Chains A and B, each alone.
Chain A
């Protein structure tokens, strides 16, 4: 019995370590960067002098990248999931795609960067553009969206499909009017988590050539860009203390986005779970 309670306290200690580190991390970053955040920090262009540098271009770059990534990855991801769940019978091709997706989900993000560099930047000659970056990130988040959407589609009871088919609906009508609306909430949760992933991604964008210093806001998808995590990375690796403060301030803004997205996803998921079970 003694061993039992000893283990219990040890386990509580272990659990707290994770949470303590989280708290320390947040405290450290807020204490370093919070005072640096003001309107100028958000609206200023990058600068050689830390006290005048801002994150405007990085923020706009991030907006561009995220918007384009959603527009590219969502339709493809949902369509692929619909095919795998609703059309493909358990044939070899479906099985192959399934293994393939589970593999892709484990490929290091920097490898996607190399793929993007060769295919989008060099082969398709898109250059170090917002579009090339978004296409690369789209491939990266595609497995996340597909897996989430498949889980969502699986949760729709078969009786609804039968009812729709029985009324003379075609397979696509059934998917479009019954299946997808019924699991829209869960799909949205998955998409938001994918966006949250895309917002924090750094390595693949460095490889496709996102720039560290971009003195202008991107106007078209073909413009060069930077994003917040790369800006943070750049500031972190500079020796002057002022840039470390800037990096911390940038991190606060970045975490704000990430936590906001994750909270929305959690709220959506809980609300969806609370609704009537079929």
Chain B
């Protein structure tokens, strides 16, 4: 078992004829992911790298049986692409796009929540169940199939964490990049809940950063609902207040959203909080043995 994506996932890549979409669709297929369709409005009927292209997501679902979408559509059109997927009945929508206007995401967010679909991201590396399915832009070879669930707001920082886990002999059940934006479809609690219920997952690594209060809420959820061991890391102890640190959601507003407050909340909930990123892998070996 793994969560959300596996061998049965049938992917439609929205924006498959763009530079990013094309490149990553190929990378996903090389990993063994079943990419069954692409969507680019106006290019329906074409074939991109062996994948049939449709004008609409609905066609991709009906004619190619897609049940997961992977979005590389540019920011001005990305919220529309998310809502199109949801409207077409796609079960899992993974939005990689960074820089979607907040107001657009608000509309998309409420539409997703009123549907039966799940959104991961936007502004995320995607999701991977190692050895089974990769729906995203993460480098496949650093992962190994195993039993640790990873959930993170970041991209390359997640790769660093995964790399340390793999190097220390711990594979991953599923790694979910939930995204660095202020409004995201799947939050820490959603992911933690999935990992807690997944029999393959025996331990969880949670990677947060400054901004908002998602980590504090997750800590509370863990204390009450998660029985599996959790290791936490928070980036941004040295980040100055009031500045957006790359990610749209990574900002300390006044005195709220600091790394210090998040680490304290997590420690109180019984989570092993790493101060030194470099020791995460070694510590995980201890905690997850």
Same complex for A and B? Answer no
Measured CB to CB, the residues of B under 8 A from A are none
